[in-house]
Amino acid sequence: MNLRNIAIIAHVDHGKTTLVDRLLQQSGAFRENQRLVERVMDSNDLEKERGITIMAKATSIAWKDTRINIVDTPGHADFGGEVERILSMVDGAIVLVDASEGPMPQTKFVVGKALKIGLRPIVAVNKVDKPDARVTEVVNEVFDLFAALDATDEQLDFPILYGSAKQGWMAASPDGPQEGMAPLFDLVLKHVPAPRIEDGGFRMLGTLLEANPYLGRLITGRVFAGSVKPNQSVKVLDRKGNVVEQGRVSKILAFRGIERAPIEEAEAGDIVAIAGLEKFNVADTLCAPEVVEPLQAQPIDPPTLSMTFLVNDSPLAGTEGDKVTSRVIRDRLYKEAQGNVALKIEDSPGSDSYIVSGRGELQLAILIETMRREGFELGVSRPKVVFQKAEDGKQLLEPIEEVVIDVDEEHSGVVVQKMAERKAEMIEMRPSGGNRLRLVFHAPTRGLIGYQGELLTDTRGTAIMNRLFHEYAPWKGEITGRRNGVLISNDNGESVAYAMWKLEDRGPMMIEPGWKVYRGMIVGEHTRENDLEINVLKGKQLTNIRAAGKDEAVRLTPPIKMTLERALAYIEDDELVEVTPKSIRLRKTYLDPNERKRAFRAKESA
């Protein structure tokens, strides 16, 4: 069969996974009576809950006499490492653009990478049925973007299709005819070149790693040269050409619709999953025993944020999770780093803690959420940016992000003011249709930590913020953090409604009556700038005197609900988030007040 390998790349929420759904349905990958699931490629629980793609995944469809391998990629910049690796597997890309939003930061990031390695793009303008669609302007914006990214003349001469993935059609004009996905299939066959096959023995580059309960480690990748059969002897080379292991291929799985079927031989150009090798990792080359040169993997952009993961040492440690020791946490983190090359794990000197560096808060929050669902308990520090030194070795450089905020005109003033406080520089301000403005800033990453929630509050939930790493630039100076202090419990026990009621004028609470608290745990936000220790355990004095109005019901204000992302954004440098399978608590790093004072004095004198 003829082969074509394509990736679908776009910004988050522009409809990549829905498009794959329709391609699978219309290519006959499903039976007539098969129950169809929305966003079939989002197989992971967190992906289904949040409606975002986190892991890149491959599928394939047969059209006419050609098998088309399709890779669905994430749209969030935090998972850009997934996309960068994927591009080496494919020969073409469908760039999906929303007909009203136009090309967004993540589109720019991925298209830049795709054009650099010579992929020929097909532009698909999606959601043309939206009332605020502006098709002609969006096509012009895409052309300008390609030109700004130094596309070749051949890449600038891209074909364009219009349609709606939700309604299941693509056509050469925005008005139709609405006859399904056939025009897109035919364009892929015509425009995307067949896979380039190299000479020599069998060589395959690993790009996606997963653990299968029956087959062990499965690596998905593209075969660049030769062919491979089950039980064949192979070896694994790392990026530098060192032999990592030698072994045999136990099983070869090919993608057939959403299923994976075992095959007897994988040939050059195909994308397959291989089982049987224990040390075969992402970016390694699987090859025949006589091959000595590894395949070149795409370089991955460096991490920009880091967090410290610590063993949970609170008084409630071990009461809710079963994976609590430093060894188990360490093994899990290093296992994650093997499959996710955008993550970097380091042992912190002198303590049971590990420094985890990644692309953004969302990527690290997804890792923490996955771990807590697996039964882990851990403490997590505030995210810190990864600084670099300039070439002269003196100047400190920090990561700067390009931030695009779409906001209603009435709220634009407060957004500009808040971004200026965070040392952001405005690059552009233009109308984006429907009384909305698009504001573009270059802002330091550390100023953006925790801004998402504040932005939604300031704009009544109407603003959309997108971020993308831009460059390393000289340090921008101090940025003020949280302005309010916190309320800290001064004892261990269970919180009492009566005590909390009496303390309400001190500030809003983060706990409910009957919750377990401990000394040093943060139970609320103080109305002033300093921290305050309070007693939430004090019960009412019981007497036998009953006077009128003595026993009015205690009515408490609803507490602040802390999600994982909100908690990570809220804490200061001397605080931690305690994450367990059932709870997310905030606490001071030093639970004892005397130790806190000593640490504060030491920091002041330093």
Give the 3-state secondary structure of 483-502: CCCEEEECCCEECCHHHHHH
pLDDT tens figures, 523-568: 999 999 889 999 999 877 776 665 555 555 678 888 888 888 888 8
pLDDT tens figures, 37-63: 444 444 556 655 656 666 667 788 888
Q: Is 129 annotated as a binding residue?
A: yes
Residue 76's pLDDT band (boundaries 50, 70, 90)?
low
Q: Is 20 annotated as a binding residue?
A: no
Q: Is 128 annotated as a binding residue?
A: yes
Percent of the chain surpassing pLDDT 90: 16
CATH architecture assigned to 486-605 = Beta Barrel (2.40)
Q: Is 191 annotated as a binding residue?
A: no
Residue intervals of the chain classified under CATH 3.40.50.300 are: 2-191
Instruction: Give Cβ neighbours of residue 13 (< 8 Å, ≥ 6 apart).
Output: 75, 98
Q: Is 573 annotated as a binding residue?
A: no
CA 60 → CA 28, 121, 170, 541, 547, distances in Å?
11, 19, 19, 71, 77
Instruction: Give Cβ neighbours of residue 478 (< 8 Å, ≥ 6 apart).
Output: none
CATH assignment of 203-287, among 2.40.30.10, 1.10.3300.10, 3.40.50.740, 2.40.37.10: 2.40.30.10
Please return the burial class of 44, using the count of CB atoms within 10 Å of its CB with bins 0-12, 13-18 and 19+. middle
Reply yes or no on domain 389-474 having CATH 3.30.70.240: yes
Please return the burial class of 87, using the count of CB atoms within 10 Å of its CB with bins 0-12, 13-18 and 19+. buried
CATH architecture assigned to 2-191 = 3-Layer(aba) Sandwich (3.40)
Residue intervals of the chain classified under CATH 2.40.30.10 are: 203-287
Answer yes or no: are the C-beta atoms of 99 and 135 closer than 8 Å: yes
Q: Which residue has the tokens 């009203």?
A: 100
3 state SS of 517:
strand
Q: Write phi, then psi, for 154 (nearest 5 degrees).
A: -65, -40
pLDDT tens figures, 439-498: 999 999 888 887 887 888 888 888 888 887 888 888 888 887 767 889 999 999 999 888
Instruction: Give Cβ neighbours of residue 574 (< 8 Å, ≥ 6 apart).
Output: 588, 589, 590, 596, 599, 600
Radius of gyration of the chain (CA): 27
pLDDT tens figures, 80-134: 666 777 788 888 888 889 888 888 777 777 788 888 888 889 999 988 888 888 8
- Mean predicted confidence (pLDDT) in 192-199: 86
Answer yes or no: are the C-beta atoms of 342 and 82 closer than 8 Å: yes
pLDDT of residue 606 exceeding 80, the answer is: no
Most confident of 79-83, 399-403, 515-519: 515-519
Q: Is 502 annotated as a binding residue?
A: no
pLDDT tens figures, 227-283: 889 998 999 888 888 888 888 999 998 888 777 888 898 888 888 889 888 888 777
Residue intervals of the chain classified under CATH 2.40.50.250 are: 486-605
Q: Is 127 annotated as a binding residue?
A: yes
Q: Tell me the pTM.
A: 0.78
